[in-house]
A and B are shown apart, each in its own frame.
Chain A
Amino acid sequence: MGLLSWLFGSAKQERKRTPVSRASRRKSRRAERTYTLAEMESIAAMAKNLARIVEESVGIVQSSRNPSTIESRTAVAREKFELLKKMNRDYSFLILESLDEVELTLRELEANLERGEEMQSEEEGHGSAFSFATYGLGGGPWPDGVEERPYKSDAEAATAGNRLWIGPGEAKRIGNWQVPGGMLYIGKNLPGDSLYGGSEPSLINPKLKTRPPRPGSDDRKLHYWPSYSTISPGARVIYLDWLEKGRSDPDIPLGFVFLFFYGLERRILLDAPHIDRAREEVPALIAEIERLLTIYADSRSFRNYATQLLTIARLKFTTQRAYELPAPSLTSRCNLDLGLLIPLGQLIADKKSIPASWALAWCIADDSTRIRTPAKRCPDEFTALFAAYYKKKFADGLQIKPNKKRLKRRVTPASAGLQRGHVLEDDSLPDVGGLSAPVRKFQVLFNRCMDDLDSYSRLLGRDPEAAGTAKAFSLLPDAIATARGGEEVDGIRVWADEVIRGGGVVAVKDAMARWPCSKPAKMTKREAVEFAQCLDRLGFGMEPDVRFAAPAPQQPGHLVLFRLPSDHPDTPSEDYVAATVLIHLAAMVAAADGSICADEKRHLEHHIEHALRLSVAERLRLAAHLDWLIKDQPGTAGLKKRLAQVPAEARKAMASFAISVAGADGRIDPAEIKTLRNIYGFLSLEQDNLYADIHSLVTQDPGGPATAPVTVQASGPNSTGFKLPSQEEPKKADDTKPEAVDPQAVDPQGIVLDMDLVKKRLKQTREVSSILSSIFTEEDAGEGTSPTTDSELALASPDCEQSNLIEGLDAAHSTLLRALALSPGWTAEDFQSLVEDHDLMPSGAMETLNEAAFDSFGGAVLEGDDPINLNDEILQQMLS
């Protein structure tokens, strides 16, 4: 078989699921620490090295006849193998295949050693000439082996093989088996072209014993490097059966496939360069290998060897460029060796850009690429996504400048019979193996693909049937979603179109009928996100949208659908969140009086359009959000959380806006005030300030009440913008709402007076002064008296002589005043008796006299209570 292939597992779960070996299963149960990528790489390199040593040692032991070599090499192999097993146990990320087979082989070798037997099972001729085995394009030096090469030259080896080769299509009878298809070496003796001699492993010697396999025997188990000559008679029967039945039983242990493959390998690598007939057969051989690959591609080991052989065959014997063939897919991952190096090198040499499929193959073959579940579970979507991203990023593909290093690789055939230093060298091809820059670029895309497919992959993980449903559609990344809708998706598109034509509002129930949900009453958050994404993909937005800080839709409620503009954000901006809170609060206020009237709605919409700093898409969304708020009038759940992000001064502004909304219909209803109180609680503002704030908003009017009534629009920019206009109009904020200013925040620079306003105030003050002075100074005497008094007095003194009367007084009071005028001051007692002498009452007389004095001359004539003094100035005026 092949080398101990290794890889590093990237994720734990992946490791657990990969059926590798008992050892690895055991180890997966252990608690593990995590390793950095660098650590894993160096450990993997160590393991790789050990595996190579074991492999080489076993090869040497198997093919050597020198006892001391065998002994020492067996010991080395065992030692290194133990180390490998230990590593396999210790490092869970390390996955070693074929450990069991190697173990088996080793044990056998050791047993043989103990028995002192020679490993050599058959007598085989061995060539004496030591020569460089070169295959095709140059060759590597024959390593310093102990053994000699069995053939003098490649040509000799080719000729020897050719003699025993059964060409493609030739049926051949082997014992009781009628084997169709040919492509086999059949004969008694054919030395392998291995470093250490030995027979060609694929050679079928019809003389060897066959016996039907016994049940329970180990016949189906082959050693690591099987050879027809050394396998058990039962195994030979299994092999021949397989051959007879067309080499297509998928359940055959892979060792038998390899046994056959060794022959193809020898034919192509050894015979074809020298034998014309062999060269002509190459296309048929290629076809056969491709056929085998379709059946046995599951084995990474087989895949690697087969692909390598195919690539070499094509390179050497056909004109086809390797990259014209389909690149290996995700499911047929290869190592980064010749199977990839050649096509990639050719692409670069031909100055072609790397197509997405080869970029992907390159990427996944690279050791440092970690392939996570999304890529494995949905390879189709992944490949499409990668192609889409690749196209977006590199357009037609990344063009790589050829590097200087030429392609030169040691070819390691699978067959033990060909174990020597084949080297493939091609001066026309750059060696991309050492390039890391392009791979890194691909890996960025690769990782992004995996991330973007994550949720989709999880859905498929939960429900493998979900592929193609609307739900799956909603989780697909945008780049590949459009092409992957289904009937269900089309249904939703038509439905949403209809809803929007009908005004955009639709019952949640209706939506849930189209979107399967786990609970009947409401969508879960995840379901709502998926639904929103699905709509999003179809060009619709919905509110409430949990992605935009809204609650999940629930019954009985409504959704508002709207058309999204092409460039819309997927996540809410900070401003947007604040705006939703603002609108929410405002809508609560507006609805508090039982209905949201047109004025209030217009006010809100106007605010959305003009006052908030939002993008077009956000405004559209917010308008839909408002429609939803109006329709459903949801409670305050979740508001508090959103409010936490809003700074204090913005909360203040929100409160002002809420008040302005309450008043948008011309009156602040007590129910609205109640709601406002709650909102103040929400905003963590002092509830007792509410009335002051309403009051100040009501009276807010820098221009004076009579000339510039407050309009809501005017108050908008001042009081509701989130960025307070501290720079432009600091004084205005001070002036109009002084109580709103935090004293700590007062600009220590002092007061800036708005002189225009002062002038305005002065003007108003003059106005009010003139009004007041017209009231308080009725200089134009007599006429100022009220009609009531006049008529009463006239009635009271109809028969008095006009000439004796003092203006505004009747006869009795006129006489009294004249009497009083005799003295500048009177004591209360004197005053009383004097008044009584005139048949009057003191308080009443004083009041009447003063009243008349006020009417005519703007002042009282009698002052004080005791003594009572006469105001001379006014007295003289009255008497005159």
Chain B
Amino acid sequence: MSTNKKLLPTVRDAILQSLRAGVVPRIGQQHIQVGRVGEVRALLGDIERIADGGSGIRFIIGEYGSGKTFFLHLIRSIALEKKLITVHADLTPDRRLQASGGQARALYQELMRNLSTRSKPDGGALSSVVERFVTTALTEAKAQGITPDAAIRRKLADLSEMVGGYAFADVIAAYWRGYDSGDDVLRGNAVRWLRAEFSTKTDARKALGVRTIIDDASIYDHLKLFACFVRLAGYSGLLVCIDEMVNLFKLSSGQARRSNYEQILRILNDSLQGSACGMGMLLGGTPEFLMDPRRGLHSYEALQSRLAVNTFAKKGLVDFDGPVLTLPNLSQEDLFVLLCKICKVHRNGRDDIDLMPDDMIQAFMEYSMKTVGSAYYRTPRKTITAFVKLLSVLEQNPGTNWREVLDRDPITKDHDPDLFDGTEDDSPPTSETEGSSNDDGLSTFKL
């Protein structure tokens, strides 16, 4: 966006509120993106390739607080803008790529729940996508004078070649039947099937007459299938974003880790060989997830050579072409620029008031560094929340000297608690950064 242009108030508020709450904004990330031109370009290339029917996989590797999640969300919104469907989820102990106790299915469910389109960027767009497909099929059927069911089957003929493709076509057809006959139960069952909510084949057969379900073993196949499906529905492709890959590293069972890594290898091979059409994967993780020779990806030999850290020391350009993309941590300068941009978003074109001159931003950073301590260097989350809060205090109390506000003792002056509760407590930030999932973490800001 041109920097002079006014933002929609909704976008501005969404950004500021997310930041204030310490989470990554769902929209408008582009307004506060700082630097990382190379990375953005590389991913943009990926997305365009996916839109052209190609495939791609990227491991986004960065420290806690280096901005992985923010970056993933930025890429996701770019993808949406490029007419891709996106699904995203964090891995958790209960959600894995490969499992036998339903954890993989849980991941698939989560992914489908978060299925987003440009007009529904917050998820829940599964039925929109299905109906849009069915609508086009109906239009076709009308034009060609065949039954809608036949039109659907014909359109999905390509899919039946793929694993689970036949059942998938059945389910889409069932959705149409349910809609056509007003049978909401049938339609609901179809959606449930698509969300992998059937846990047994018997149930699925009873409800929909299909012999297969989406289970732990087939989620990746169904993702591929779904990627083809969204292209048939008129979208450019599917982008799968999976964050917190470190949960695989944390698996205590070596067998479980290994099978997950095998799955990653399969995805990697498919993507690199281009056999997953129109589908891209973004996997966010920490360096130890990648490099640890005992439990990380590198513990799996076949992945070692494919994912060896190779981005430096070749006396040419930094390598943005490999599957591993490393995100550096936020530097002081980056943070400074970021705060400037937040200021600008907050001002939103009103040039008359400049709540935060540059030197104050610097003073604020120093203050924050002293107050937050070591977490300051790990993640800018606390600094940013405090900053946004300070901005709003200044806005609501015109004439307040920002220095006075900063100099106020945060502990004794509790009449202004808003301002400081972000910076006061040292221990929560650290534990939060390390313990909680980074799903929504502002820690994901980065160049």
Q: Which residues of A contact B (CB under 8 A)?
A: 599, 660, 663-671, 673-674, 677, 688, 690-692, 694-702, 704-706, 709-712, 731, 734-736, 738-739, 741, 743, 746, 748, 750-751, 753-754, 757-758, 760-762, 764-769, 771-773, 775-777, 786, 788-789, 792, 795-799, 810, 812, 839-848, 850-851, 853-854, 860
Contacts and interface: CB of A to CB of B under 8 A. Distances in A.
Most chain B CB within 10 A, of A688, A736, A766, A788, is at A788
B51 to A, nearest CB: 7
A341 to B, nearest CB: 78
A697 B312 contact: yes
Contacts of A769: 1, 3, 30, 33
B231 A670 contact: no
Contact of A743 (B120, B127, B291, B373): B373
A853 B234 CA distance: 15
27 contacts: A666-B310, A668-B291, A669-B304, A696-B63, A698-B309, A699-B326, A699-B328, A709-B315, A709-B318, A738-B331, A739-B377, A751-B365, A761-B334, A769-B1, A771-B44, A772-B30, A775-B82, A776-B30, A776-B81, A841-B134, A841-B135, A842-B131, A843-B131, A843-B132, A845-B131, A847-B125, A847-B131
Interface string B368-410: 0110011011100000000000000000000000000000000
Contacts of A810: 139
A695 B61 contact: yes
Contact of A844 (B135, B317, B332, B362): B135
B317 A706 contact: yes
B369 A746 contact: yes
Given A757-B331, A841-B134, A786 B51 contact: yes
B139 A797 contact: yes
A738 B383 CA distance: 15
Contact of B1 (A673, A776, A786, A797): A776
A810 to B, nearest CB: 6
A734 B125 contact: no
A796 B331 CA distance: 53
Contacts of B265: none
A660 B2 CA distance: 41
B386 to A, nearest CB: 15
B14 interface: no
Where chain A touches its partner, the secondary structure class is: helix
A874 B330 CA distance: 39
Nearest to B180: A841
A757 B316 CA distance: 21
B428 interface: no
Contacts of A698: 309, 311-312, 326
B374 A844 contact: no
Interface in B280-329: 286-288, 290-293, 296, 298-299, 304, 308-318, 320, 326-329
B119 A734 contact: no
Nearest to A845: B135
Contacts of B316: 709
A792 B78 CA distance: 23
A739 B329 contact: yes
Most chain A CB within 10 A, of B120, B316, B333, is at B333
A79 B255 CA distance: 100
A146 to B, nearest CB: 102
Contacts of B320: 705
B62 interface: yes
A765 B30 contact: no
Given A692-B63, A731-B332, A771-B44, A699 B327 contact: yes
Contacts of B337: 758, 761-762, 765
Given A670-B298, A695-B287, A709-B312, 13 more contacts: A673-B292, A695-B62, A695-B63, A735-B333, A750-B365, A758-B337, A761-B336, A771-B37, A772-B30, A776-B77, A842-B131, A843-B128, A847-B131
A268 B80 CA distance: 128
A788 B78 contact: no
B250 interface: no
A735 B61 contact: no
A839 B136 CA distance: 12
A448 B119 CA distance: 93
Nearest to B300: A670
A777 B8 CA distance: 13
B35 interface: yes
Nearest to A738: B377
Given A666-B310, A739-B378, A761 B34 contact: yes
A626 B141 CA distance: 78
Contacts of A777: 1
Contacts of A692: 63, 287-288
B287 A788 contact: no
Contact of B312 (A663, A761, A843): A663
Interface string B97-136: 0000000000000000000011110000101111111111
Given A709-B316, A712-B313, A748-B370, A743 B131 contact: no
Contacts of A771: 37, 40-41, 44
Nearest to B375: A743
B81 A775 contact: yes
Contact of A677 (B38, B41, B82, B293): B293
Given A746-B369, A773-B1, A844-B128, A706 B44 contact: no
Interface string B38-60: 11110010000001000000000
Contacts of B288: 688, 690-692
B143 interface: yes
- In order of increasing CB-CB distance, the 10 nearest A-B pairs are A844-B131, A699-B328, A850-B119, A691-B287, A750-B366, A772-B30, A743-B374, A695-B287, A847-B128, A670-B298
B140 interface: yes
Contacts of A762: 337
A696 B83 contact: no
B442 interface: no
B341 interface: yes
A363 B62 CA distance: 76
Given A669-B308, A765-B337, A843 B369 contact: no
Nearest to A797: B139
A758 B336 contact: yes
Contacts of B328: 696, 699-701, 705
Contact of A847 (B37, B120, B293, B310): B120
Contacts of A734: 332
B36 interface: yes
Contacts of A765: 33-35, 337, 341
B447 interface: yes
B179 interface: yes
B93 to A, nearest CB: 20
Contacts of B140: 795-796
A841 B328 CA distance: 47
Nearest to B331: A735
B36 A768 contact: yes
A711 to B, nearest CB: 6
A789 B234 contact: yes
Contact of B310 (A667, A691, A753, A786): A667
A711 B179 contact: no
A136 B260 CA distance: 115
Interface in B351-373: 362, 365-366, 369-370, 373
Given A751-B369, A765-B33, A796-B139, A772 B1 contact: yes
A751 B363 CA distance: 8
A773 B30 contact: yes
A734 B329 CA distance: 11
B138 interface: yes
Given A670-B308, A709-B316, A741-B377, A764 B236 contact: no
Nearest to A770: B2
A756 B62 CA distance: 25
Contacts of B82: 775
B287 A847 contact: no
Nearest to B65: A739
Contact of B293 (A673, A706, A746): A673
